[in-house]
Amino acid sequence: MTLQIYYDEIESLLYQANLSVVCGMSVLLSALETADVVQAMIRELDNRDSLRALRGRIGFLCGRATDEGRVDYDESIVTYLYALSQIDPALAREASCQIMNARGLFWSRRMALRILEATEAKALPAIE
Amino acid sequence: MSAILLDFDIGIEGHPYPIFARSGWEIPQPSQRELEAERQPDEILRLRTFVLIDEMARHGSRQVKIRSLPKYLYNCVGMVLANRRAWIEIDHIIDVLREDGYRLLARDQVVAGDVVVYNLNVAPVHVGLVVAVEPSFGNLQEIRVLSKWGLLGEVEHRDEDVPYHCGRPSL
């Protein structure tokens, strides 16, 4: 099944506007956890092709920079990153690296940073 | 008459300048690295806000006005409690209000200058500043609030007229 129906809603102006009013990371996460469209999309990520398609969608949006070099799909990208992180942490880390190099993103960068810092923390040897 | 504009920027070693509550408790803030972001252009902020206001109007909300589209990064908590100089996660709002000596009020005690906390599923998700209390139908009062809607602008509205993710007023 194609993820396009989810892309259409999550990349809509109304979806982005609704999410842009959150004033904290906990509120954002709660919004994503309870959003029907997000949970429905996550249920579709049950195979490698879907996961790679979603990873590719993040790359596609990150590449759609404006003339000023800014990416305008912050709320959509963070939604996709959140969904990826629930199923495939490795792909989420890969996407996070790309997001950290894109301009114009706020929530996506914050979530990407958390994903990457969590990875670094796990990689540190235990202190005995 | 000229004015000095205080620019909020990086503090010490990549951390925002520390902010303390009246009790001396240091208010937690995200690191500067977390807050590095370009501000969206005015036209995008305005468009998104209008989209929300239009959607809210379909559900009966009226008299919602964009007050400003700030140049600097701060959120609702930063607007109310840090003079628009900081992004303070909403998770800390109850602690900050307690450490600053705020007390709970009933709705009929509210006056301009008071603070309204908004909850969603019992968790605080938003905060605003009361700017006016006006008589309404019967013995009711209309409470006008100024609040910062996340990354969007500062908006003046009735206390109940906020987007879904800003919750409901706890008054």
pLDDT at B6: 39
DSSP β-ladder status, B154-158 and B65-68: antiparallel
Band the pLDDT of B10: cuts 50, 70, 90: very low
Shortest alpha-carbon distance between residue B1 and chain A (Å): 35
The answer to whether residue B31 scores a pLDDT higher than 80 is yes
Using alpha carbons only, what angle is made at residue A38 by residues A35 and A39, rounded to the nearest 5 degrees?
85
- Write the ipTM: 0.89
Kindly report which listed range (A63-77, A82-96, B2-16, B62-76) carries the lowest average pLDDT score.
B2-16
Asked if B80 is an interface residue toward chain A (Cβ–Cβ < 8 A), one would say no
Asked if B9 is an interface residue toward chain A (Cβ–Cβ < 8 A), one would say no
Characterize A8-37 residue by residue with b for buried, 16 or more Cβ atoms within 10 angstroms of its Cβ, and e for exposed: ebbbeeebbbbbbbbbbbebbebbbeebeb
**CB atoms A30 and B121 under 8 Å:** yes
- Based on the number of CB atoms within 10 Å of its own CB, is A93 exposed (0-12), middle (13-18) or buried (19 or more)? middle
**CB atoms A21 and B40 under 8 Å:** no
The answer to whether residue B86 scores a pLDDT higher than 90 is yes
pLDDT tens digits for range B97-145: 999 999 999 999 999 999 999 999 999 999 999 999 998 777 778 999 9
pLDDT at A125: 63
Residues B159 and B28: their CA atoms lie apart, in Å, by 27
pLDDT at B8: 43
**Percent of chain B clearing pLDDT 70 (strictly above):** 89
Residues B158 and B165: their CA atoms lie apart, in Å, by 16
Residues B157 and A24: their CA atoms lie apart, in Å, by 21
Nearest to B151 among A13, A20, A27 (CB): A20
pLDDT at A126: 60
Kindly report which listed range (A69-78, A93-102, B11-20, B87-96) carries the lowest average pLDDT score.
B11-20
Kindly report which listed range (A98-112, B50-64, B152-166) carries the lowest average pLDDT score.
B50-64
Residues B41 and B116: their CA atoms lie apart, in Å, by 29
Shortest alpha-carbon distance between residue A33 and chain B (Å): 13
List, as ranges, residues 65-104 from A with C-beta within 8 Å of B.
70, 72, 103-104
List, as ranges, residues 121-160 from B with C-beta within 8 Å of A.
121, 123, 125-127, 148-152
Average pLDDT, chain B: 87
pLDDT tens digits for range A38-80: 999 999 999 999 999 999 999 999 988 777 767 789 999 999 9
The answer to whether residue A83 scores a pLDDT higher than 80 is yes
pLDDT at B45: 86
Q: Which of A61-70, A106-115, B13-22 has the highest mean pLDDT?
A: A106-115
pLDDT at B15: 62
Nearest alpha carbon to residue B76 among B3, B132, B157, B7: B157
Band the pLDDT of B17: cuts 50, 70, 90: confident
Band the pLDDT of A1: cuts 50, 70, 90: low
pTM of the full structure: 0.90
